[in-house]
Amino acid sequence: MAAKKILILTASIGSGHIKAAEAVAEELVRQQPQAEIVTVDFMARSTSFWHWLTKKIYLEMLNFVPNLYDVFYRFSSSETGGNCGKNMFALFMLPVFNRLQAEHRPDCVICTHPFPAGTVSLWKGKHHSSLPLSVVMTDYSLHPMWLSSGVDSYFMATEDMRQGMIEHGFAVKTLHAEGIPISAEVQGLPAKEDLRKVLGIGREERVILLMGGGLGLGGIEQTLQELEKIKQSFVLLVVAGRNEQLQKQAENFAAGSHHTIRTWGYTDEVKRLMRAADLLITKPGALTISEAFALGTPMLLHDPIPGPETENAVYATRHGAAVWLHPGEKLAAAVEEIFQGDSLLQMHEQALTLARPLASQKIVKIILSAAGF
């Protein structure tokens, strides 16, 4: 019998969708080692020049006119707007999935981004296909762009999201609130003290990790300037992502800082750095905060991209695992307050209550069962 083929479709808009796809693929290899697993970035230039160009425009929009994206997000949050946006992108991207389907002939498709999810849904409807389709949501809130017909298994972060989908008329048996998939590596990390030894960080030193996601967004340079106002010395771990200019700026800043500053570009060491840190200062990407929950790392969240990241920040702060720094609030004062009293311990404990470290295992088990593997 020929090996089953599983096609994972994701999108390199930020790093969260990619990381979710990687976590699912990693677990598929463990649970279904004989299957052939193919992961495709729907927005890569090698997949489609036009998809890649759409991504470039999106990123430029975030850099120069973030309010425009906010308008689009709010428009697409309505039922009419959401259907309009979803159908537009699905039609635009349908030829690419026609090609991928013909090339790979998958026995099952898994999507970690709404664009390929809507496209595969449209393809299934046009071809009256029973191709098993699973959609793994990567946010802590519902948005109509994720909601499509013809999906056999939906996976979402919270029970509230599942109830919301039931209210939208989705079949209960297709809905699974198992959390957002994160790498199994998180569960096997060494203890905090051991990682600090490897990094050359003292047991009693206060450590802050600064991140801006895979794209290096989030005003890290301004954050460094604010932290310089604090008299207490910290070890600052700066992850600049693929933003080489930002990494160089952080290295230059380190020369004159009274803090100890160490920098990384795009790195696979993020989870280890997160484990070693006392506090994570970052934008509220869903995968980042999901990993922080699993590691019990308190967070100071700032500069969310309007829309899903704002909702992620609301979720983490409402449950006491993070502090959200709003425009006009002073970062230095917020950090000093977090490091006073029992705040860090309380945030650590609340983060662990939100953790879903086994999400990948549970999601993949359900997908394989639903697809008849």
Specify the pLDDT at position 1. Answer: 54
Distance CA 355, CA 299 (A): 14
pLDDT tens digit sequence for 256-302? 899 999 988 888 889 999 999 999 999 899 999 999 999 999 999 98
Same fold, 5-182+358-370 and 185-354: yes
Can you give the pLDDT at residue 214? 47
Contacts of range 153-156, beta carbons closer than 8 Å, 24 or more positions apart: 153/366, 153/367, 153/370, 155/181, 155/363, 155/366
Most confident of 13-22, 299-308, 339-348: 339-348
Overall average pLDDT of the 88-100 stretch: 92
Task: Say what the pLDDT of residue 79 is.
Answer: 65
Cα–Cα nearest to 279, from 294, 297, 262, 264? 297
pLDDT tens-place string over residues 124-177? 999 999 999 999 999 999 988 899 989 999 999 999 999 999 999 999 999 999
- Residue 11 CA to residue 119 CA, distance in Å, equals 13
- Reported as a pLDDT band with limits 50, 70 and 90, residue 216 is very low
State both tokens at 193.
């003290």
Q: Sort strands 175-176 and 36-41 into parallel, antiparallel or unpaired.
A: unpaired
Task: Check: CB of residue 246 under 8 Å from CB of residue 240.
Answer: yes
CA distance 17 to 135: 11
- Domain 185-354 in CATH 3.40.50.2000? The answer is yes
Domain ranges for the chain, please list them. Answer: 5-182+358-370, 185-354
Kindly state the tokens that stand for 304: 């969310």
Question: Which residue has better confidence, 107 or 243?
Answer: 107
Answer for the pair 208, 297: CB distance below 8 angstroms, yes or no: no
Supply the CATH classification number for the domain 5-182+358-370. Answer: 3.40.50.2000
Which candidate, 338, 320, 321, places its Cα nearest to that of 329? 338
pLDDT for 35-80, tens place per residue?
A: 999 999 999 999 999 888 988 887 777 667 656 666 666 666 666 6
pLDDT of residue 89: 87
Burial of 127 (0-12, 13-18, 19+ CB in 10 A): exposed
The 3 state secondary structure assigned to 291-330 is HHHHHCCCEEEECCCCCHHHHHHHHHHHCCCEEEECCCCC
